[in-house]
Amino acid sequence: MNWNSHEFIWLDWVIIAVGIVAVAWAVWRSVQKDKRLQQGANSEDYLFGKGEPWYIIGAAIFAANIGSEHLVGLAGTGAKAGVGMAHWEMQGWMILILGWLFVPFYQLMNNKLGKIITMPDFLKNRYTPRTGSWLSIITLIAYVLTKVSVTAFTGGIFMESLLGLPFWYGAIGLIVITGIFTILGGMKGVMTLSAIQTPILIIGSFLVLFLGLAALGGGSIPDGWAAMIDYSKTLNNGYGTNHMFHFETGDPFYDEYPGLWVFIGASIIGFWYWCTDQHIVQRVLGQTKGEPNDVVMKRARRGTIAAGYFKILPVFMFLIPGMIAAALAARPDSGFTLTDPDTAFGSMVKFVLPAGVKGIVTIGFISALVASLAAFFNSCATLFTEDFYKPMFKDKSEARYVLVGRIATVVVVILGIVWIPIMMSLGSLYSYLQGIQSLLAPAMVAVFVMGIFSKRITPKAGEAGLIIGFLIGMARLLTNIFTNTGKDTMTGWYWESTTWFWHTNWLIFEIWLLVFIMLLMVVVSFFTPKPTAQQIDAITFTSDYKKLIKQSWNKWDVIASLGVVTLCGLFYWYFW
């Protein structure tokens, strides 16, 4: 047996088959046990799960974030552009804001206004019912544009590069398997699969990292790291791809990552994604089992702290292996070839891992793809069922609500697949993903931040900010489609008179859009009725909020949180 084969052998296929069956059995057993404890089907338990330990919450948040866009897009970006995109990944510090700032608000709202189980619930109580409905619509559109389409597309690429499956077989197969898994498992299944695949994914990816560095360094990991850095310095017309900030206008990457603007723009997207997106926040919303508020909050916060540490890892798990792949491919004597940067990670798995280990690691990767896509499916079902169907059709059976959520998910999946051809024309995968999020994030960040930190922002101001901000973002998306994301030369009075709108750097546009929406909300607040006392008391800084926070943490929570911030800071210092 050739243990060092650069392709999958029979042993790997046997391990993959046995491993998938074992994972499926473990998830099924966990779901059945949970159903017995819950005494039958319940739509809320199906959608949210209940009372998981903090380390399971942290693993679930991390697993929900890791998808095929990392295995394909982030590694591919590393191979092409180095660490420039690391701004969007080095955001463990941002997850702390979810745990320290938003979790107490959600818990406080649960106490005063009843169960808050979706992000639109938050906006409905702070602003107007219409604001919450619009957030549901925007979020579902975001899942079509940035989640389902991207995951299906990149999942097909990954399966093709790793297992040799035809692209559409891998893409559609991933969706079908995940659909079945989501229908049968619900949130409990997602949580269980997350706990299983997270350690396999982390260990497997770091094996790729270290063995890749050893291959590049002639058996020495430090020499491999030095060789990777030296090679990255020669790229990008001599400006290098080994730093996160590009300050010189002559730098070819300046338009993609302009100076300090890139950090601000990435933080806006990060705030939306980690603190207000249903897909992520859903992991902490269901963490109540009739326990005291401080206990529930402590568990949820510690889950976010754990996720903060996990979130530091993807740069090393995926982006840097992409950089290693590019450096290896540049050496004719290495035996490694890379025809397409998006296949970098799958190619590295086959090249550096020994037989048998390939199979074990592949189980973790497939589980990660399924867990991430299942989390999207589950969030789609939650948003449509809780925010649209239940209010219109009350007193239906729990089985009906679950069925409606599943149908809504199927519709979102179909729309996501239809969007794939358009998505492919809008630039490289990871840049496309962040570009779309930069158009969606400002409106949602504005309404959440202004609603919490200002008692004077009126309900109608929040409604106007969310709707107008979203419409402006969609208008910019349309111009991106027609102008090749601002790269083409456009003629005609319309295009020439609106150059500032469609040609402005995407990150700078995002920042000014956020500023505009906030100013708009302030102006509208001067001319519209003030929020009620109930709206203010439940969702802004109050004495109850401060008391609740003080009861839920100790010095170790603070120390652990500072550790996340310190590690993020050290990464920025090294790759400045």
Rounded to whole angstroms, how far apart are CA atoms 12 and 34? 33
What per-residue confidence (pLDDT) applies to 234?
92
pLDDT, tens digit, for every residue of 164-197?
888 888 888 888 887 777 767 666 676 677 777 7
Judge whether 95 lies within some domain. Answer: yes
Judge whether 543 lies within some domain. Answer: no
What per-residue confidence (pLDDT) applies to 38?
59
Percent of the chain's residues with pLDDT above 90 = 28
CB atoms within 10 A of CB 111: 12
Q: What's the token pair of residue 481? A: 């489609």
pLDDT, tens digit, for every residue of 325-372?
999 999 888 888 888 888 888 889 888 999 888 888 888 888 877 877
Q: Domain containing 197: what range?
A: 10-418
Q: Which of 248-257, 288-297, 563-572 has the highest mean pLDDT?
A: 563-572
Judge whether 215 lies within some domain. Answer: yes
Q: DSSP assignment, residue 50?
A: -
Judge whether 537 lies within some domain. Answer: no
Q: What's the token pair of residue 207? A: 């094996």
Q: Which position has the higher pLDDT, 106 or 74?
A: 74
- Model pTM score: 0.82
User: If pLDDT is split at 50, 70 and 90, which confidence band does 539 have?
Assistant: low
Judge whether 544 lies within some domain. Answer: no
Q: Which position has the higher pLDDT, 465 or 155?
A: 465
Indicate if the pLDDT at residue 490 is higher than 90. no
Q: Which long-range contacts (CB under 8 A, 24 or more apart) does 279-282 make?
A: 279/64, 279/143, 279/147, 279/375, 279/376, 279/379, 280/61, 280/64, 280/65, 280/98, 281/98, 281/102, 281/106, 281/119, 282/47, 282/48, 282/187, 282/375, 282/378, 282/379, 282/382
pLDDT, tens digit, for every residue of 566-576?
999 999 999 98
Name the nearest CA neighbour of 108 among 541, 558, 459: 541
Q: What is the CA radius of gyration of the chain?
A: 23
Name the nearest CA neighbour of 371 among 99, 68, 156, 50: 68
What per-residue confidence (pLDDT) applies to 47?
47
Judge whether 526 lies within some domain. Answer: no
Judge whether 231 lies within some domain. Answer: yes
What per-residue confidence (pLDDT) applies to 93?
93
Average pLDDT over residues 479-508: 80
Q: Tally the domains of the chain.
A: 1
Q: What's the token pair of residue 158? A: 């990954």
CA of 44: how far to CAs of 63, 164, 304, 308, in Å? 21, 40, 22, 27
pLDDT, tens digit, for every residue of 30-64?
777 766 665 554 555 544 455 678 888 888 888 77
Rounded to whole angstroms, how far apart are CA atoms 125 and 108? 12
Q: What is the CATH number of the domain that holds 355?
A: 1.20.1730.10
Q: What's the token pair of residue 391? A: 């209010």
What per-residue confidence (pLDDT) applies to 512?
94
Judge whether 439 lies within some domain. Answer: no
CB 451 within 8 A of CB 492: no
Q: DSSP assignment, residue 5?
A: -
Rounded to whole angstroms, how far apart are CA atoms 368 and 357? 17
CB 512 within 8 A of CB 443: no
Average pLDDT over residues 455-477: 93
Q: Which position has the higher pLDDT, 428 or 404?
A: 404
Residue with tokens 């109050």: 542
